[in-house]
Structure 1
Amino acid sequence: RQEHHGTRDCPECRRTFTDPLLSPSLKLSNIVERYAAFPLDAILNAQRNSYPCKDHEKVKLFCLSDKSLVCFFCDEPALHEQHQVTTVDEAYEEIQ
């Protein structure tokens, strides 16, 4: 589906131009969908809190499949073996 919106004015030179015909980007749409599913509050809290695990060291991993923080002392590593796991820092950077 293509959309045509008419004319616009350039904010710098004030010339009028016709909007180009644009098609929605499926690639961008898929990226937005993927990151919209991230629990932003969990990632941000992990970034701000030095030791989110009350019993162990700073949690450094985030399971994208479960959308949860991973402490390998509390959670058994086998639980996330087939999951997509990244660092909390990388998950945070990706949603910025």
Structure 2
Amino acid sequence: MKNSRYIYLWGDSLGKRGLIWSLLEMSQIAGMILMPKLHIRHGKLDLVDYENFPPYLKRLLTIVTAMILIAAIWLAAISILLEFR
């Protein structure tokens, strides 16, 4: 992703600013891959970089994001049920 503006600006510090910032940077990059039209339009992601991104990593990002979303929904449902117990 060397042509993308986000990586060009923040690439030197990726993974060097602590745990929380590293997690936020990874989530930003995952969001750029999972919602490419928005980030291409804003200029953060280059179309060539998106097309050259490995398909198996796109699939893994989709699976992990779906698992996190499902877990969050279950957590909200259980907390609501426990509130009314």
Does the pair score TM above 0.5? no
Return the TM-score normalized by structure 1: 0.23
Structure with bigger gyration radius:
1
Greater strand fraction, Structure 1 or Structure 2: 1
